[in-house]
Structure 1
Amino acid sequence: MTFRPLRPPFRPTALLLGLLFLLATAAHAAPPAPKQTVVLVHGATAGAWEWKRTGQFLTDDGHAVYRATLTGLGEREHLNSAAIDLQTHIDDVVNLILFEDLHDVVLTGHSYGGMVVTGVMDRIPERIRHVVFLDAAVPQDGQSIWDLFGSRGPLPADRFRDGFMQVPWVKPGDKPPYSVKQSIKCFEQPVSYRNPAALALPVTYVAFVPKDQKIEERARTDKSWQNADARGWTMRTFPGGHVAQQEDPRGVATLIEASVNDRNRAVGAAAASAKAAGTAAE
């Protein structure tokens, strides 16, 4: 008589529960963040080099990144001229977007770059999805950056001469990348910001706030902060100095990604109507 070893009865319960768990997890998993087209615009005397590491983090996250270098600055220093003005730099970024045929652009501007992206918004709002002002100038229509910061008057000879704002901390023989002198006309020329489609774009304003500065003090004294807030833009802060993108490039990249879904608040008459409606409902 042949004896066969007894096999344990098949119990599919554990296997089925595991499969059901995996299916449920997949069904409820958050979809991957959409990939964006990001255009980074640097500040005065700088260049695209200043945004290399932040741009690389954005690229690593799957976004298409374009780091603009404004005429006469950065690796385009050989084109430097006292005739360059704000409009030249606005044209630089507008043409980058048009010639690369970019749409739904997440447009960012840092410092003086806020003047540039304001002009770009006014020119081609139909190409832009969201704008992020990173510790940047926020001018009113018809203002220059000197109007915004109240810098009219005699210019210090050690910083402004021969039609340029000088960069005294860069010495002969320094190796690139480095900051370069910039035409004074960039700071004198007013910007246009009146296109209704530009005024309706969703915008995030980010103040880079050092550890030794109080946010309340910054809000009280910063005209760019006040202009942004008055427009109903999303207001954010980020810990760091004026070049926080070099101090914490990963953090700034993540900040840009998080800002894309920000939406403007209602302001003016619309805000008053909404407040009144809310009061009546109560």
Structure 2
Amino acid sequence: MNPFPHRVIATLLGAMLLACVAAPLLAAEKQTFVLVHGATAGGWEWKRTGQFLTDDGHTVYRPTLTGLGEREHLNSADIDLQTHIDDVVNLILFEDLHDVVLTGHSYGGMVVTGVMDRIPGRLRHVVFLDAAVPEDGQSIWDLFGNDSPPDPERFRDGFMQVPWVEPGAKPPYNVKQSIKCFNQPVSYRNPAALALPVTYVAFVPKDQSAEQRAKTDRSWQNAQARGWTIRTFPGGHVAQQEDPRGVASLIAASVADRNATPAPAGE
């Protein structure tokens, strides 16, 4: 009897068994997450989401950007976007982190864009959560079309004034933020940064259509043009506080996303 077919069958069965064992191990691989908050907030905003990720066995860093959150004592009208990019870059370098899953929310998209440009070799995946997705040389004001002079009532003494910054509130609370964070352009031109796998997540409230949002959201459009993975998640702009477990699972699942080939210009 020819043993060859039996050896082939045994080899195939062995390969199938290896695949069955490897897939769950890959899915269960532990990650290092750096979660970057949005404007006026702080690392406290990611406490519950971060705890869920930690409970799942991951390593989590929740940096608070200079002048905000518990670092309010450093607040100044001289703080700019570059300061906040330096905050995250230095965290990653001084903690000697590698294969980082970098996540930015809202204004945090500007920050992580700058981090991508500076140290792409330290990053494994990037997730933009309802976040700004700027082009190279854009500020967040440029991205959202703020071409007219700023309203003097909203921007006073070098700071952006917003209704959710409430004097006398009990910590944790939102903190006023320097205008320079919003009018300073970001660099996004490093070829290694452009090649990173990225996921863009739109938080979509119940009363909003994802299809309509895609037609009007410049960040969504920029992400799609780059071939990034597009995901949606039900909830408001701070869905990470509304459903921290769901957002934690979403971030972890996004690590497996891979960029598509962008469509040629004009298509």
The answer, yes or no, to whether TM exceeds 0.5 is yes
2:185 counterpart SS class: coil
Instruction: Report Cα offsets for 1:12-31 as digits up to 9, x if no partner.
Output: xxxxxxxxxxxxx9994633
Per-residue deviation, residues 2-41 of structure 1 (Å, max 9, x unmatched): xxxxxxxxxxxxxxxxxxxxxxx99946336100000000
Q: CA deviation at 1:121?
A: 0.2
Matched to 1:147, the amino acid is D
- The question of 1:166 aligning with 2:171 is answered no
| 1:12-161 aligned within 5 A | 28=20, 30-31=24-25, 33-161=28-156
**Take 1:183 and 1:43, find their aligned partners in 2: how far apart are those partners?**
13
Distance 2:141 2:205 in 1: 24
Instruction: State the distance in 2 between where 1:58 and 1:123 align.
Output: 26
Q: What are structure 2's unaligned runs of at least 5 residues?
A: 1-16
Residues of 2 paired with 1:170 and 1:71: CA distance? 17
1:236 aligns with 2:209: no
CA offset digits 1:19-65 (Å, max 9, x no partner): xxxxxx99946336100000000000000000000000000000000
What TM-score, normalized by structure 2, do the two folds share?
A: 0.89
What percentage of residue pairs aligned between the two structures are identical?
Answer: 83
Deviations 1:48-104 (A, max 9, x none): 000000000000000000001100011100000000000000000000000000000
Gaps of 5+ in 1: 1-24, 273-282
User: What amino acid is aligned across from residue 126 of structure 1 in structure 2?
Assistant: G
Matches of 1:182 and 1:96 in 2, distance apart? 21
Match 1:209 to one of 204, 212, 216: 204
> 1:154 Cα deviation (Å)?
2.4
Aligned to 2:259: 264
Give the number of the structure whose alpha-carbon radius of gyration is greater: 1
**Alignment-derived partner of residue 175 in structure 1:** 170
Q: Distance in 2 between matches of 1:61 and 1:149?
A: 36
* Residue 172 of structure 1, CA deviation: 2.9
Task: State whether residues 84 and 185 of structure 1, in contact with CA within 8 Å, keep that contact through their aligned partners in structure 2.
Answer: yes
- Residue 246 (str. 1) matches residue 241 (str. 2): yes
Q: Contact 1:47 / 1:179 at 8 angstroms: preserved in 2?
A: yes
Q: Which residue in the other structure is 1:189 paired with?
A: 184
- 1:137-156, Cα deviation, whole Å (9 max, x unpaired): 00000000000000132222
Separation in 2, partners of 1:142, 1:170: 29
Where 2:62 maps in the other structure, the secondary structure is strand
Say if 1:125 and 1:175 are closer, same or farther in 2 by CA, change over 3 A. same
Q: Which amino acid aligns with 1:80?
A: N
Give the deviation of 1:231 after TM superposition.
0.1
Query: Does the CA contact (< 8 Å) of 1:167 and 1:180 recur in 2?
Result: no
Alpha-carbon shift at residue 243 of structure 1 (Å): 0.1
Could you tell me the TM-score, scaled by structure 1's length? 0.84
**Code of the aligned partner of 1:224:** S
**SS at 1:133 equivalent:** strand
